[in-house]
Amino acid sequence: MAKRIQFRAHGGPEVLEYVDYQPAEPGPKEVRVTNKAIGLNFIDTYYRSGLYPPPSLPSGVGSEGAGVVEAVGSDVTRFKIGDRVAYGSGPLGAYSDVHVLPEANLVKLPDAISFEQAAGVMLKGLTVQYLLRQTYELKGGETILFHAAAGGVGSLACQWARALGVKLIGTVSSAEKAALAKANGAWATIDYSHENVAQRVLELTDGKKVPVVYDGVGKDTWLTSLDSVAPRGLVVSFGNASGAVDGVNLGILAGKGSLYVTRPTLGTYANNAENLQRMADELFEMIIGGKLTVEISQRYPLADAAKAQTELSARRTTGSVVLLP
Ligand SMILES: NC(=O)c1ccc[n+]([C@@H]2O[C@H](COP(=O)([O-])OP(=O)(O)OC[C@H]3O[C@@H](n4cnc5c(N)ncnc54)[C@H](OP(=O)(O)O)[C@@H]3O)[C@@H](O)[C@H]2O)c1
C-alpha cells in the first residue's frame, strides 16, 4: 500500500493527513511515477486553505516532484518504465509515494540533475523561466524589482537575472535573507520590514524606477509595486503569499502612469508538451551550465508535510524545500 498526504476539509496545516492509498492504474495517456523527491510550494497552501479550490475533496496535495516511471498507459509514446522524470504542474497529489500524471506534464530528467534538485526546481524554475524570459523578455542591462527574493522562486530569479546581466533589486524581510539574496546574485536588496520600498527603488534607479516588477507577495506589496514601476511599465502579479490582491480600481493604473498589469500562471505558459519541454530544456541548460544552483535548504520526511507547510507560511524557509517519501 502506498502513502500520501491528503485533506478532507480546508484549514491550516493540521488538516493534512498522512494516509494509506491505492494509486490508480494509469489511463491510456498517463504515466505512474515512483516519487524520489517532492517539491514544497506556496501554491500548495492555497489549495489547502481553500484560496484556490481543488477539483474535489478529499484532495491530494502538491504539484512538483521527480522520480522513476513505474507504469505507462497504452497510448504513451515518450516514456518507458525505468525513465527518470520530473514534473511541475498538476494534477494535485505530488505529496505521495506514487503519482499518476498525464504524459504531457512530464519531462525526462537529464542524468546530471538529481531527483532532489529536480523536485526543488521544476515548478519554481519553470516559473522563473517564463517570468524573466517570456512575460517580460529581459535582454540584459535592465534594473528590475523582485519581491521575496530569498524564497524558492526568488532565489532562482536572483541567479537567473545575474546570468542575464540584469540588476535585480530584491525585497526581503531580514538581514539574513538579504545576505542570501545577494549571494544568489541580487544587485541590491531592500528590507521591506522597515524600509520604504518605492523610495529606495527611486534612489537605486536615479529616479527612473523600474520597467518591470515581479510580485509574488500580493496584497501587502501591490501598491508598493505600482509605485516602483516606471510609467508604461509592467507589474507582474504572480502570487498571493500575503493574501490575494482584490478590489482593484483600474483608474489607479492611469493615475500612476499608464501601467500594465498581468496575473500569469505557469499552466498557461507550459500549456502543452512542446512548450513545457522547451522551457525545461532552457532550465536544465542553466543548471548543467553552472549558471543556476538549486540549493535544497531543508528536507522533511513526506509524513511531516504539515510541519514543512507551517514553516513555509511562517516565512521561516528560504530557497527550495523538498519532502522525501
Ligand atoms: N503564478 C505562477 O505561475 C506561480 C508559480 C510559482 C509560484 N508562484 C508564487 O510565487 C510566490 C513564491 O512562491 P514560493 O513557493 O517560492 O514561496 P517562497 O517565496 O519560498 O515563500 C513565500 C515568501 O513570501 C514572503 N512573504 C511576504 N509576506 C508574506 C506573508 N504574509 N506570509 C508568508 N510569506 C510572505 C516571505 O519572504 P520574506 O520573509 O522575505 O518576505 C516568504 O518566504 C508565491 O506567491 C507563489 O504562489 C506563482
Instruction: List the pLDDT tens digit at each of the 325 positions of the chain.
Output: 899 999 999 999 999 999 999 999 999 999 999 999 999 999 999 999 999 999 999 999 999 999 999 999 999 999 999 999 999 998 999 999 999 999 999 999 999 999 999 999 999 999 999 999 999 999 999 999 999 999 999 999 999 999 999 999 999 999 999 999 999 999 999 999 999 999 999 999 999 999 999 999 999 999 999 999 999 999 999 999 999 999 999 999 999 999 999 999 999 999 999 999 999 999 999 999 999 999 999 999 999 999 999 999 999 999 999 999 9
* Closest among 254, 286, 314 to 156, alpha carbons compared: 286
Residue 283 lies in a domain: no
Whether 148 and 43 map to the same domain: the answer is no
The CB density around residue 210, as the number of other CB atoms within 10 Å, is: 25
Peptide bond before residue 58 is cis, with ω within 30 degrees of 0: yes
| Ligand 1, CB within 6 Å, residue ranges | 41-43, 123-124, 127, 148, 150-154, 172-173, 177, 216-217, 220, 238-242, 264-266, 312-313, 315, 317
Asked whether the whole model's pTM tops 0.85, one would answer yes
Of the residues 263, 285, 312, which one is the last residue of a structural domain?
263
Atom from ligand 1 closest to the CA of residue 263:
1
Whether 117 and 215 map to the same domain: the answer is no
Q: Are residues 97 and 192 in the same domain?
A: no
How remote is the CA of residue 90 from the centroid of ligand 1, in Å?
19
Same domain, 25 and 67: yes
Single-letter amino acid, residue 169: I
Q: How far is the CA of 251 from the centre of ligand 1 (A)?
A: 27
Question: Is the residue at 214 inside a domain?
Answer: yes
pLDDT at position 165 is 98
205 and 305 housed in the same domain: no
Mutate to test the pocket of ligand 1, among 128, 129, 132, 153 (most ligand atoms within 8 A of CB): 153
Nearest CA to ligand 1 atom 40: 172
- Distance in Å, CA 81 to ligand 1 centroid: 35
What is the structure's pLDDT at 269? 98
- Burial (0-12, 13-18, 19+ Cβ within 10 Å), 296: middle
Q: What is the pLDDT of residue 1?
A: 87
Rounded to the nearest angstrom, the distance between the alpha carbon of 302 and the centre of ligand 1 is 21
Same domain flag for 54 and 167: no
Residue 149: per-residue pLDDT: 98
User: The domain that contains 88 carries what CATH number?
Assistant: 3.90.180.10
Return the ligand 1 atom nearest residue 239 CA: 45
What is the C-alpha to C-alpha distance for residues 85 and 107, in angstroms, rounded to an integer?
6
Residues 56 and 103 in one domain: yes
- Looking at the fold, whether 37 and 112 belong to one and the same domain comes out as yes
Express each pLDDT in 190-213 by its tens digit: 999 999 999 999 999 999 999 999
Same domain? For 174 and 100 the reply is no
Question: Is 8 part of any domain?
Answer: yes
Q: Does residue 56 fall inside a structural domain?
A: yes
Question: Is 276 contained in some domain?
Answer: no
Alpha-carbon span 272 to 292, nearest angstrom: 25
* Smallest CA separation from ligand 1 atom 13, residue: 42
Residue 284 lies inside a defined structural domain of this protein: no
**What CATH number is attached to the domain comprising 175?**
3.40.50.720
Q: How far is the CA of 239 from the centre of ligand 1 (A)?
A: 7
Residues 97 and 194 in one domain: no
> Hey, which of 315, 316, 320 would you mutate to test ligand 1's pocket, going by the most ligand atoms within 8 Å of its Cβ?
315
Does residue 132 form part of some domain?
A: no
| Atom number of ligand 1 nearest to Cα 319 | 20
Residue with cell 499608464: 258
The domain of 165 spans 140-263
Tell me, what's the pLDDT at 90?
80
Domain-ending residue, one of 223, 243, 263: 263
Give the residue from 242, 263, 284 where a domain finishes.
263
Same domain, 104 and 216: no
Q: Report the C-alpha gap between 255 and 257 in whole angstroms.
A: 6
Distance CA 72, CA 80 (A): 7
Number of domains in the chain: 2
270 occurs within a structural domain: no
- Give yes or no: residues 222 and 174 share one domain: yes
